[in-house]
Structure 1
Amino acid sequence: MTRRVIGIVMNGVTGRMGYRQHLVRSILAIREQGGLPLDGGGTLWPEPILVGRSADKLKELADRHGLTHWTTSLDEALAHPLAEIYFDSQVTPAREQAIKAAIAAGKHVYTEKPTAESLEGALELARLAREAGVRSGAVQDKLFLPGLLKLKRLVDGGFFGRILSVRGEFGYWVFEGDWQDAQRPSWNYRAEDGGGMILDMFPHWRYVLDGIVAPVRSVYAHAATHIPQRVDERGEPYAATADDAAYGVFELEGGITAQINSSWAVRVDRDELVEFQVDGTEGSAVAGLRNCRIQHRASTPKPVWNPDLPATEPFRAQWQQVPDNGEFDNGFKVQWELFLRHVVSDAPYRWDLLEGAKGVQLAELGLRSAREGRRLDVPELTL
């Protein structure tokens, strides 16, 4: 059996997301399974070429996993004879110029979101990739999670009838960094470093709503900085200049209303850290990262409002779990495999840099809506 080696320049893998989800649970996991089987025979063997700012961190990471290719020079990494794909999971302000350099070097591009700090920048990247004839992809991992795959199955199967609304709850308490260490890096809370809830999460909500329910047509957002001062990784207090919570109302095609609350200053009283409830004329569903439960029209109970008596109905017990009906792999890994097949075998793939730009568009409009206090239309994007 033939094995084709493909070099992947991985920039930003010393960070939490780049290391855990993209290097370890995606690329190294593909290697551990013997490579990626290709249609028509043979396997694809991904060879990481690590790049970052800290030589010590890169060397330690490479030694830990038995990797041989690493450098602190992006130019050197892009010039590596094996390099065919550039992947970026850096902080957002560093992303745009690095992707431009990769496109100029003729590399296919796969990147975390947001793809750029502005819609103008995101569209320019999509245009440059198209003009250069390179393949591109933007990470849209939540589409490949078990709970949302089950939700998509319900939508495609017509379970809901006419969809009326979507309600989403996302978030958890991120410690301020004083008496307990914060679970997220401090740059997330500095607008000047590309932080902020809207910039981080609205790109996710765009592809989730577009890809599972219906295209987003308008947005109204309220942003808040609930915790105005935090403590960084060095124990130094700093001003939180970015929003740590966002409350959004989105109008979807077909008159569907979506409401999504996102907060790093909320304590969790849900089964999962993110949940979406979809209500339709024929049934409802609540989907999280892994699970999805449903209530059909025929089995919907008939609650009666009476504030003078305690509630006795077991509301949670009146829902039914959607079965797995299959095995689910890591969502990041699944999308990596699709992109790799797209690059080497021309397999279908629709989550390109233009799709990534749609997420940046919604974030930009969300921030503007929060500043101006008004609802804004979301126009179609074209190159």
Structure 2
Amino acid sequence: MRSESPINPQFFLDARLRAFILGIMVVAFFFGFADQIYNRNFERLHIFLFNLCAGGFIILYHTENTARPSFRCYLFLAASLLYALLAFFNLYPPAALLSLFLGVLVETIRTRVFPIIPHDLFDPSVPVSDKYHHASILCLSLALFIATFVLLNSTALHWLPYKSLTLNVFFLGFSFPVSLITMSVMFSFIRRDDGPLSHLLQQAFFWLINLGVIVFFLFIIFEMQLAKVTIAVTLFLTVLLIFAFFLRLGMNMQQKQFLLSGMVFLVFTGITGIFYIILARYPAAYEQWGRLLLSCHAYLSLYGWSLSGLLILIRWNDFPLRLNSLLIIFFHWLVIGILAPIGKTDPFTAVAAVICYCLFLHLFFAETKVRPMNGAQQHERR
């Protein structure tokens, strides 16, 4: 959250807009299992719909901080949906042009709120929640610009010969902006009166996460296996430290429970990521367990950690909610931690996962805001 600009009190209160964005998330979740119905790689569509279309729209709408999304936001949503379809059908030349257009569109929104040159990221006086927010939208535009080059390099230019520099590998980069906006949400609930050590740690966490992910992506491109394990372990340890930090200094609010659950998802994302990198060195074991482990990693990251932050952001003006937080969190773990990964290889579990995912979203959004009691009600309770 930009500290000097609290979230607009009308942010995401439009029920139809909420339903549409949640619908995209449900469709994205469904496409994660669609290859069991029709033998085609739906993974790209699954990732794009959640990260770029739904996640990107939420980031831009949040950045504008207006009661209703602007025309630019809606244009991004429509163009990103078209982009996801073009990429899915391997129509790379028009997808590259659209990716470039989307990157420019994101920049027109970013530069209205944040500096054109992101010098605020290096300013120690800027709250870390604001830095994560700026880094999120900046990474979104950079991901789109880089995707333009990746698409052209794969089809026409062939300037860089690295076999890992493909859209199938690179589309995972669209998950980073959504992860960063969740970090922004989480760090907005950190107490700000705990002295210089707390401030220093938050700044260190910010750079460790951002530089770590960027370096990790470069190691993937250059296929540096040992370096990938090293940076993955470093990121995992950083996540553990952030988890302990938030557990200690996070404000005691209902949102903290959901964010702590999201952090546990992120911890397990780190564990599965490390094991997946190691497993890739053993072909027999990788053939047997690789897909299940990668599915666990993806679902824990996207629909566990990132979704936790996005849901809190969408319902920002509704908290505190009249619901059993622990029960909702348990159900979230059942769907994402167990049913979804198993559903990648079992169609009946996949159907159960999609149904339970819809039920989870319904339970989270059906409950209303807790209304403050008037004097007579308080006296009656006493």
Give the TM-score band, short-chain normalised: under 0.3
Q: Which has the higher strand share?
A: 1
- Normalised to the residue count of structure 1, the TM-score between the two structures is 0.25
Bigger radius of gyration: 1
